[in-house]
């Protein structure tokens, strides 16, 4: 491939070589260099031998990088949040280029500056197992980058300049340029691809320079890894320089953790009571060997970890056990250091822990950290360590602002985790006991079930089971087995048809009050009609489509749905009457429906703002739906909304209505709007396009494509109906606005009135009266029970004489009119307290009820109450059963009661003879 034949390489004496180990091509200045520079072909050589002329910490390295690129014509851009709110395809920001996807990279929206430089905090949780152990893995890192967005014919710079900049940056840091190799590594990901080079120094990949110029296209002419691609009109320089790796390389310490967070590592070592001897040569040797070896292997998974331990132990002449004893706690400290930094970013940027979506990832990291802390017996509250991290980031003052909320969240999460573990431990103990008694091993399925359903990590299951006296085995592949359980077929992505039609002019934006219009039919696709312009609002942003009519002359059809396909609005009708291209149609929308939607939509913004002001800045809309008579709004919140908060939100929302605030709508450039208002704009999702519609009501500013009232007073009353917790960390508020709110209030009054009328009291007295009734009802129930028992005793006394004698058994067969089952049971069991008796009782309440009870002596003779009831019940058209001592049954045919009683007696006679 000539993709990599750069003039820059040629002019600067580079040579292209092929690595004899991995057979990949690379470029170097140094004629001596043999290998590509990438582990496992080479191992780390920078440990103990820093590659730059001085040491940098995070801040100074970041500053050195950004100012270098500023000096070379780039504009510095502020970092984006670690939660990717401007995207709906990923939860976390995983790379600097993610900030500019999809609209900048696609060319739809111009970049905030071009070329630009940024240091973007990123979170990747894929290799969580390796963090702390490999010496180099981090869950959270800053990707320093410079990006350049080129258009065909308007190129700013491309490959040569990019490599040149990289060279000069490294040189400015004092690197001997002979030490760099540029390894060819074609890149593909996220629907894009292109050539790329990895910048290798001392065995460490310091940066990747990606030249993104291909996009995945069906039938594209270029094939990579089985996918077809074609050239893009926009081609992008996408670089990624690992800030932490640069710091590490500048220090040459045994691990990246010691290089990046020396202070926090030390404090945690103290808290864990570990002698931190990284300055001790023997100790340092352990870790540098470990890092070197780990650098050349993939260590995810237990089996691989053991393999690594063995290699390291062999190379320094010690045992695996000793190595494990020394390394494991320190590795845990490293993990905690990394994880708490991750949490500082996640919580600092407003992720609320939850059991779904990004919130789940935050909880995952949080619980993992708590587990590690427990293993090390660190008693310090987690929040203290997170605060330590936050103090360590003076460059992110926004974290300090949120500290109170973060403190509360972490406290709650710690409690929740403790609860889960306590519940879990009990459950494991019980399960273990169960299998111990059965003298069986605990099946793997059970252990998976404990984790999957109850969140108990397998390690805890093992530990607790051991205490309970049974040993269990855990396969290395435990977590992949869990994953398997959840794996399912991928959903086919819907193919969007491309209509070859112009975008429909949206009259509903131009004159939102209008309810009638004329337009020309551009196309008819089955029952769908496309017009040149429309006032019909297509479903979107949680607002349902308008309904109404379209007519030509006297012919009228109903519009039942309206959808927008890439800006072309389709009016679905309930008739296939032949509208023709070029017809002029008259359209009318259902005005009441539209107005109800508008009221609910604007009200949603107001309630959102009110909730934010009452509950806090962490409140974020995760979904919303409007209809004619109600709306719902889903918000991120870490605990239940209390009654008082609920009322306060309602009050503030209505104040906003009573203030009759104007609603401002402006079309703004996306980048401009983001700069001015921040990502809070994207409450209702991310709209496509260069220009976005900005809606301002009071303090609320959102990107919104819905139809809105022009002044809040038009909304009328807003009645909050209820809150619901739809997921952990997500609260749903339901409310009605305008006429619908009045109707809701009237309905509630009706309910109240009906309830108070039923009890003949005024609504004010209702609570007290209901309480009294309930208490009295309970008393009567008890009284009733007692009386039934008494009655049963009396009946038994009275009926004794009616019993007939069958071979020494006294058998009582009798119909007790109107008695319910409970009475029969009480009487029968009272009677059968005597040894040699059988009670066969029936009543005609609600069909037929039958109860048979046999005394102990009768049972010995073979009398079975259950069997008798079964036979008797058949006769009366039902069924029954029970125990030999007492059984119940019944049927629907009271006329057969006498017959059934005779049958019962006969069955006793059969057993004991006459």
Nearer to RNA by Cβ, of 361 and 472: the residue is 361
Q: Which two tokens stand for residue 616?
A: 């806090």
Nearer to RNA by Cβ, of 487 and 553: the residue is 487
Strands (E), 440-527: 505-506, 516-525
- Secondary structure (3-state) at 197: strand
Applying CB under 7 A, among 27, 345, 417, 682 the residue interacting with RNA is 417
- Dihedral, 33, 34, 36, 39 alpha carbons, nearest 10: -100
Q: Look at residues 379, 456, 366, 296 and name the one whose alpha carbon lies nearest to residue 139.
A: 366
Q: Is 455 in the site for RNA (CB under 7 A)?
A: yes
Stretch that binds RNA, among 54-62, 227-235, 361-369, 900-908 (CB under 7 A): 361-369
Q: Is 488 in the site for RNA (CB under 7 A)?
A: yes
Q: Is 772 in the site for RNA (CB under 7 A)?
A: no
Nearer to RNA by Cβ, of 107 and 877: the residue is 877
Q: Look at residues 588, 593, 530 and name the one whose alpha carbon lies nearest to residue 562.
A: 530
Which residues, numbered 683-702, are part of the site for RNA (CB under 7 A)? Answer: none
Q: Is 350 in the site for RNA (CB under 7 A)?
A: no
Stretch that binds RNA, among 605-613, 753-761, 808-816, 878-886 (CB under 7 A): 878-886
Contact predicate 342/382, CB 8 Å: no
- Which x/- pattern over 611-650 shows residues binding RNA (rule: CB under 7 A)? ------------x----------------x----------
DSSP state of 546: P
Nearer to RNA by Cβ, of 356 and 501: the residue is 356
Applying CB under 7 A, among 152, 263, 782, 797 the residue interacting with RNA is 782
- At 190, which helix (H) or strand (E)? none
Q: Is 784 in the site for RNA (CB under 7 A)?
A: no
Q: Is 360 in the site for RNA (CB under 7 A)?
A: yes
Sequence-separated (6 or more) residues with CB below 8 Å from residue 32: none
Q: Is 461 in the site for RNA (CB under 7 A)?
A: no
Provide the minimum distance between the beta carbon of 636 and RNA in the complex, in angstroms, as a whole number: 12
Applying CB under 7 A, among 70, 160, 230, 724 the residue interacting with RNA is 724
- CB atoms < 10 A from the CB of 860, how many? 11
Stretch that binds RNA, among 150-158, 389-397, 663-671, 881-889 (CB under 7 A): 881-889
Radius of gyration of the chain (CA): 38
Applying CB under 7 A, among 156, 222, 474, 483 the residue interacting with RNA is 483
- Which x/- pattern over 832-851 shows residues binding RNA (rule: CB under 7 A)? --------------xx-x--
Listing DSSP states for 16-63 in one string gives EEE-TTT--EEEES-TT--S-S-TTTS----TTS-SSSS---HHHHHH
Nearer to RNA by Cβ, of 2 and 644: the residue is 644
Identify the residue whose tokens are 């003298």. Answer: 439
Q: Look at residues 795, 839, 797 and name the one whose alpha carbon lies nearest to residue 817.
A: 795
Applying CB under 7 A, among 352, 703, 873, 904 the residue interacting with RNA is 873
Q: Look at residues 604, 717, 586 and name the one whose alpha carbon lies nearest to residue 654.
A: 717
Partnered with residue 850 across adjacent β-strands are: 842, 889
Total residues interacting with RNA, rule: CB under 7 A: 57
Angle subtended at Cα 103 by Cα 99 and Cα 109, rounded to the nearest 5 degrees = 105
Q: Which two tokens stand for residue 774?
A: 């309930």
Applying CB under 7 A, among 55, 463, 728, 844 the residue interacting with RNA is 728
Q: Is 825 in the site for RNA (CB under 7 A)?
A: yes
- Secondary structure (3-state) at 537: coil
Contact predicate 181/196, CB 8 Å: no
In angstroms, rounded to a whole number, what is the distance separating the alpha carbons of residues 785 and 779? 10
- CB atoms < 10 A from the CB of 88, how many? 10
Q: Which two tokens stand for residue 419?
A: 């609860």
Phi, psi of 104 (to 5 degrees): -75, -45
Establish how many alpha carbons lie within 13 A of residue 519's alpha carbon, considering only the half-sphere containing its beta carbon. 24
Which residues, numbered 317-346, are part of the site for RNA (CB under 7 A)? Answer: none
Nearer to RNA by Cβ, of 343 and 886: the residue is 886
Establish how many alpha carbons lie within 13 A of residue 634's alpha carbon, considering only the half-sphere containing its beta carbon. 13
Nearer to RNA by Cβ, of 159 and 810: the residue is 810
Provide the minimum distance between the beta carbon of 693 and RNA in the complex, in angstroms, as a whole number: 25
Provide the minimum distance between the beta carbon of 357 and RNA in the complex, in angstroms, as a whole number: 5
Applying CB under 7 A, among 231, 357, 527, 696 the residue interacting with RNA is 357
**Cα dist from 365 to 82, 206, 354, 362, 444, whole Å:** 14, 26, 12, 5, 25
In angstroms, rounded to a whole number, what is the distance separating the alpha carbons of residues 227 and 214? 11
Provide the minimum distance between the beta carbon of 542 and RNA in the complex, in angstroms, as a whole number: 13
Q: Is 857 in the site for RNA (CB under 7 A)?
A: no
Q: Is 889 in the site for RNA (CB under 7 A)?
A: yes
Nearer to RNA by Cβ, of 627 and 829: the residue is 829
Q: Is 187 in the site for RNA (CB under 7 A)?
A: no
Phi, psi of 333 (to 5 degrees): -60, -45
- CB atoms < 10 A from the CB of 191, how many? 15
- Secondary structure (3-state) at 213: strand
Q: Is 855 in the site for RNA (CB under 7 A)?
A: no
Stretch that binds RNA, among 250-258, 449-457, 546-554, 794-802 (CB under 7 A): 449-457
Provide the minimum distance between the beta carbon of 353 and RNA in the complex, in angstroms, as a whole number: 10
Cis ω before 327 (30° cut-off from 0): no
Provide the minimum distance between the beta carbon of 304 and RNA in the complex, in angstroms, as a whole number: 19
Nearer to RNA by Cβ, of 396 and 478: the residue is 478
Stretch that binds RNA, among 66-74, 101-109, 854-862, 888-896 (CB under 7 A): 888-896
Provide the minimum distance between the beta carbon of 277 and RNA in the complex, in angstroms, as a whole number: 35
Given the rule CB under 7 A, which residues bind RNA?
355-357, 360, 363-364, 367, 416-417, 419-420, 423, 426, 430, 449, 451-455, 479, 482-483, 486, 488, 623, 640, 724-725, 727-728, 774, 778, 782, 821, 825-826, 829, 846-847, 849, 873, 877-883, 885-892
């Amino acid at each position: 491939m000539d993709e990599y034949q750069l003039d820059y390489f040629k002019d600067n004496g580079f040579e292209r070589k092929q690595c004899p180990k991995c057979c990949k091509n690379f470029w170097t200045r140094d004629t001596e260099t043999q290998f590509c520079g990438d582990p496992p072909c080479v191992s780390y050589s920078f440990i103990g031998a820093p590659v730059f002329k001085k040491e940098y910490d995070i801040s100074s390295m970041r500053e050195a990088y950004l100012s270098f690129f500023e000096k070379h014509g780039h504009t510095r851009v502020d970092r984006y949040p670690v939660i990717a709110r401007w995207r709906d395809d990923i939860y976390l920001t995983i790379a600097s280029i993610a900030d500019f996807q999809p609209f900048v990279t696609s060319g739809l929206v111009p970049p905030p500056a071009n070329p630009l430089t940024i240091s973007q905090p990123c979170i990747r949780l894929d290799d969580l197992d390796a963090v702390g152990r490999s010496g180099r893995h981090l869950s959270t890192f800053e990707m320093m980058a410079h990006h350049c967005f080129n258009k065909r014919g308007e190129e700013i710079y491309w490959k040569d300049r990019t490599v040149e900049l990289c060279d000069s940056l490294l040189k400015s840091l004092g690197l001997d340029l002979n030490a760099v190799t540029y390894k060819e590594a074609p890149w593909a990901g996220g629907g894009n691809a292109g050539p790329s080079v990895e910048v290798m120094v001392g065995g460490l990949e310091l940066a990747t320079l990606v030249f993104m110029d291909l996009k995945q296209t069906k039938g594209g002419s270029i094939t990579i890894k089985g996918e077809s691609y074609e050239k893009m009109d926009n081609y992008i320089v996408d670089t990624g320089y690992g800030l932490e790796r640069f710091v590490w390389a500048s220090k040459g310490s045994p691990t990246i953790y010691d290089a990046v967070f020396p202070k926090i590592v030390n404090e945690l070592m103290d808290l864990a009571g570990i002698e931190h001897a990284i300055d001790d040569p023997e100790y340092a040797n352990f870790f540098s060997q470990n890092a070197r070896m780990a650098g050349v292997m993939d260590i995810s998974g237990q089996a691989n970890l053991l393999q690594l331990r063995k290699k390291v132990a062999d190379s320094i002449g010690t045992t695996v056990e000793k190595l494990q004893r020394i390394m494991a706690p320190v590795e845990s400290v490293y993990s905690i250091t990394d994880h708490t930094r991750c949490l500082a970013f996640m919580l600092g940027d407003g992720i609320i822990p939850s059991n779904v979506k990004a919130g789940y990832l935050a909880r995952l990291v949080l619980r993992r950290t708590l587990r590690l802390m427990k293993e090390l017996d660190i008693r310090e509250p987690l929040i203290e360590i997170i605060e330590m991290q936050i103090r360590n980031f003076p460059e992110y003052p926004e974290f300090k602002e949120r500290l109170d909320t973060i403190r509360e969240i972490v406290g709650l999460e710690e409690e929740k985790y403790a609860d889960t573990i306590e519940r879990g431990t009990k459950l494991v103990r019980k399960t273990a006991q169960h299998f111990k008694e059965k003298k069986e091993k605990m099946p793997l399925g059970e252990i998976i079930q404990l984790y999957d359903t109850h969140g108990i990590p397998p390690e805890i299951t093992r530990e607790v089971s051991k205490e309970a006296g049974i040993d269990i085995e855990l396969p290395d592949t435990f977590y992949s087995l869990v994953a398997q359980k959840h794996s399912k077929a991928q959903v086919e992505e819907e193919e969007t048809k491309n209509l070859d039609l112009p975008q429909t002019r949206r009259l509903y934006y131009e004159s939102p009050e209008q309810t009638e219009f004329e337009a020309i039919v551009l196309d008819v696709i089955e029952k769908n009609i496309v017009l040149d312009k429309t006032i019909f609002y297509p479903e979107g942003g949680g607002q349902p489509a308008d309904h109404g009519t379209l007519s030509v002359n006297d012919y009228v059809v109903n519009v039942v749905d309206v959808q927008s396909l890439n800006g072309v609005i389709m009016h679905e009708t309930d008739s296939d009457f032949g509208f023709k291209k070029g017809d002029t149609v008259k359209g009318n929308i259902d005005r009441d429906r539209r107005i109800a939607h508008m009221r609910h939509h604007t009200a949603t913004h107001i309630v959102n703002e009110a909730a934010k002001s009452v509950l806090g800045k962490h409140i974020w809309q995760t979904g919303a739906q409007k209809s004619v008579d109600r709306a719902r709004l889903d918000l991120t919140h870490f605990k239940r909304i209390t009654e008082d908060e609920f009322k306060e939100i309602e009050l503030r929302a209505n104040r906003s209505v009573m203030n009759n605030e104007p609603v401002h709508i402006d079309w703004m450039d996306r980048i401009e709007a983001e700069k001015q208002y921040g990502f809070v704009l994207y409450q209702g999702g991310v709209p496509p396009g260069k220009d976005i519609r900005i809606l301002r009501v009071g303090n609320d500013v959102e990107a919104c494509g819905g139809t809105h009232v022009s002044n809040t007073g038009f909304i009328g009353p807003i009645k909050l109906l209820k809150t619901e917790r739809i997921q952990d960390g997500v609260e749903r508020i339901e409310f009605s606005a305008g006429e619908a709110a009045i109707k809701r209030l009237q309905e509630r009054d009706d309910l109240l009135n009906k309830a108070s009328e039923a009890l003949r009291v005024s609504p004010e007295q209702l609570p007290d009266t209901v309480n009294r009734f309930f208490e009295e009802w309970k008393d009567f129930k008890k009284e009733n029970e007692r009386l039934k028992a008494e009655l049963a005793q009396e009946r038994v006394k009275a009926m004794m004489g009616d019993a007939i004698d069958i071979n020494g058994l006294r058998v009582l067969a009798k119909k007790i009119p109107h008695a319910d089952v409970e009475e029969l049971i009480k009487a029968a069991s009272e009677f059968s307290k005597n040894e040699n008796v059988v009670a066969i009782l029936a009543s005609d309440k609600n069909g037929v009820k039958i109860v048979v009870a046999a005394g102990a002596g009768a049972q010995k003779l073979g009398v079975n109450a259950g069997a008798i009831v079964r036979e008797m019940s058949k006769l009366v058209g039902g069924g029954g059963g029970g125990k030999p001592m007492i059984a119940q049954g019944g049927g629907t045919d009271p006329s057969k009661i006498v017959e059934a009683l005779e049958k019962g007696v006969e069955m006793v006679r059969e057993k004991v003879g006459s």
